[in-house]
Structure formats: C-alpha cells, structure tokens
Structure 1
Amino acid sequence: MLLNFKADSYPHWGAIALVLAIGLSVLAWWQEGKSSGAASKAPNWKQAYSLTAWWLLLLVGASGCSPQPRPIQYGKDACAFCQMTIVDQRYGTELVSKTGKVYTFDSIECLVQYLQQGKLPKEEVYQSLLTDFNQPGQLIEAGGSYVLFSPDLPSPMGMYLTAFADPAEARTFLEEHPGKLFDWQALQRQFDSLAQEVRSSKIN
C-alpha cells in the first residue's frame, strides 16, 4: 500500500473513552447540582463549558498521539543503523514505534539489521516502511512489498536489495536483472544467507 501521508480519522479506543468521560463528567456535574438543591437555580453553564472544554483539549491531544510515518528528509536525515546521511530516494526505509518515534534508514539492509540486533524490539514496531524503487521518495508498507535481490541493482550498503509495491513490476525487473524475489517475511528469514552470499561473491 502506497503512503501519501494523508491523515484519515478513525475512532481509537482512547478517543472513545475521552468522549465518554466528557459525557459522564457533565452528567455528574448536573446530578450534583440537582442533589444539592440547586435544581431550582439557574444552571452554572460557565462551569459546564469549562469542564467540557478541558476534556476536549485532552481529546485533541490524545487523537494526535497515534503513531504515524513521516516523509524522509533526504540529505538531512541520518540512518539510525549506520549513521550515514540518507541520500538515495529510491532506497530509504523507515520504522515507526508504537510510541510514535520514527527511525529512518538509508537502505533495506540497515533496517533489517537494526531489527535483528534488537535495537527496536519487534513487539514495539508499529510499522515498517520501504521505498518503491519506481516511485522514489514514496514509502510503502513493508508487509505488502516485494524485494528483489539482484547484483545488477546495488543498494546503498551493498546488499543489492530493491523494493517494489507492484508484484508485476517486481517480476519484470527480475526478468531484466536476474536474482531472487522475496516478500517481506521471506526476506527477513533469508537475510543472513543472502548476506553470506554477498560476502562470498566479494571475496571471490
């Protein structure tokens, strides 16, 4: 799935809880006034509005805290794994943690090694993103991507890994640039053997 960084609004449990809290707070205020004999007096709407405004501020704050990716700032962002400045817009990758922190990488291989070394535990990963080679700068969901391993297509850190959003485009590139095609899960399982293959080819 291509990511255009357009924010869609969906009801999160935290937001629902806050809406309920607003209603319950106003109801409690009304019941308190009623039970204290204040029912015959004019309601203190100023107090009610202040209370509601307070909860609405909390609601807005909570709704803005859901984890989201961000565009990689090429030429400025540094790779979280190798610390090199990210330059090639065909290969940038990204991790988003469940706390909303964004980690940027200059290649697929750096992202995979970052996960392998437990620098961000997999249970804390909210989203993994790769770049579609045919749409430079366009992040895609790693889980729906296709990764080509081909010595004809050198990636920034030398692992020859290139991502595609469209399986047909990935197969076309495979025909033109012989190698191996993986989905995201298979790539992670085969990564060490691919790394060994790359090392062996460079030695020979």
Structure 2
Amino acid sequence: MKKWTIAAGAMMVASVLMMGCGKEEAQPVEIVEGVDKCDICHMEVANNQHATEIVLKDGKALKFDDIGCMYRWTNENGTEQVDVQFVRDYLSKEWVKSDQASYAYDESYKTPMGYGVYSFKEKTAAEVFVQEQQTGKVMSAQDLSNHSWESSMKKHKEEHGGGHNGDGQSGTHGANADANGSHTPSAETQGKHN
C-alpha cells in the first residue's frame, strides 16, 4: 500500500508540473545562407549579427536581413500573429529576444538595408559602442517601436535618384547587393567591431 501511495503521489506531482509547463517557448531558427531570403526585401539573409527573426504563433519563422525589415513587416502586418521576435547581439551574434535587447542607432552605422540599428544583449555594451563611435544613441525596444525606420539608402536614392533594373525593382537593394541580387555584408560591416 505504501509503495502505491508514493507512486500515485509522484504521478500527481509530475502531472501538475507538466500542466504548468504548457506550450514550449519559441526558439530562433537556424539561418541557411544562400537559401533563406528576407521576408521583406527578398535579399539573402546572412548568418551574421544583423539577422533577425519573427516566430509566429503557428510556429512559422520569418527571417530578415536587417532589423529595419523586421519592423517594416510588423508595421505592415501587425503583431497579433507574432509569438516572439529575435535579434542578434552585435558582438557575439547570440540570439536575444528583441524586447530584452538594447540598441544603438545612427544613420551612419552600416547595416544590410541601411537602417543603422545594431542590437546588443546588454545595455552597457550598446553604451560602450556608441561612446567608441562618438556618434549615435542608445535605444530601448520601446524606443524602436516609435522609431521612423527610414533607410539611409532610401534617402540616398531620393536625393540622388534611384534607377530601375529591368525587373521593375528599384536599383540594388543596398550597398552590398551584387548583380544577381545576392546580399552579403561588406567587409566593413562584417569586420567592424567584432
């Protein structure tokens, strides 16, 4: 009788723990270079510190080559279907939930689509980065939700004219796009501050 009571008690504790766990927390999905395309600009997503992701409530992962593209997607589609958003720490490339990260912004910062926002796991790292650059400002996730998200490339095209490339799309998508539309980070972007 005593063994049965202990076994029944253990099963009850296990069931309560399993009920409390509920749904597994969404995790970022691996970036496959040369295959994955940005869900906004359709450029290749590099497996670097600029990659971002949205995991939808249905489990589908959307991938972006620049944090500005991720914010454009949420501005266009809303957040009702979003489970979690991930950004990468600029220094370590570690995935971080976007609402827990800190950010450094300046129009002069080089990013794949020219939005000029770098993400950091720790606020102090963002502060040190801005201080080292002697330009820019530290922002929170809340600040980003009110950010204008204007690409420096868009401004450049407006000021200097942007051509069309035969397929009806404006010019190249960013300073780092090659003739095939592939998108790779520049040596300056990739090597700077790693």
Q: Shorter-chain TM-score: what band?
A: 0.5 to 0.7
| RMSD between superposed Cα atoms in Å | 2.6
- Take 1:156 and 1:197, find their aligned partners in 2: how far apart are those partners? 11
1:142 counterpart = 2:149: no
Over 3 Å counting, the alpha-carbon distance change for 1:104 and 1:199 in structure 2 is closer
Matches within 5 A, 1:94-113: 94-113=53-72
The residue number in structure 2 matching 1:77 is 36
- Take 1:88 and 1:174, find their aligned partners in 2: how far apart are those partners? 24
Kindly provide the CA deviation profile for residues 147-204 of structure 1, in whole angstroms up to 9, marking residues without a partner as x.
Answer: 1112442110011111001111100111122112211121121234xx1777557738
- Take 2:105 and 2:139, find their aligned partners in 1: how far apart are those partners? 8
> Which structure carries more helix by proportion?
1
The residue number in structure 2 matching 1:186 is 143
Q: Is the 8 A contact 2:113 2:153 kept in 1?
A: no
Superposition TM-score, scaled by structure 2 size = 0.64
- Take 1:78 and 1:146, find their aligned partners in 2: how far apart are those partners? 25
Taking only the aligned residue pairs, the percentage that are identical comes to 23
Secondary structure at 1:153's aligned position in 2? coil
Structure 1 unaligned regions, length at least 5: 1-9, 16-62
Q: Is the 8 A contact 1:155 1:161 kept in 2?
A: yes
Matches within 5 A, 1:126-165: 126-136=83-93, 138-165=94-121
Query: Aligned AA for 1:100?
Result: G
Superposition TM-score, scaled by structure 1 size = 0.61
The residue number in structure 2 matching 1:11 is 18
Kindly provide the CA deviation profile for residues 14-50 of structure 1, in whole angstroms up to 9, marking residues without a partner as x.
Answer: 96xxxxxxxxxxxxxxxxxxxxxxxxxxxxxxxxxxx
Structure whose CA Rg is larger: 1
In the TM superposition, residue 86 of structure 1 has moved relative to its aligned partner by 0.8
In the TM superposition, residue 69 of structure 1 has moved relative to its aligned partner by 2.5
| Structure 1 runs of 4+ with >4 Å offset | 12-15, 196-202
Query: Aligned AA for 1:11?
Result: M
Query: Aligned AA for 1:110?
Result: C
The size of the alignment, in residue pairs, is 142
Kindly provide the CA deviation profile for residues 38-95 of structure 1, in whole angstroms up to 9, marking residues without a partner as x.
Answer: xxxxxxxxxxxxxxxxxxxxxxxxx77x643322223321111111111250100000
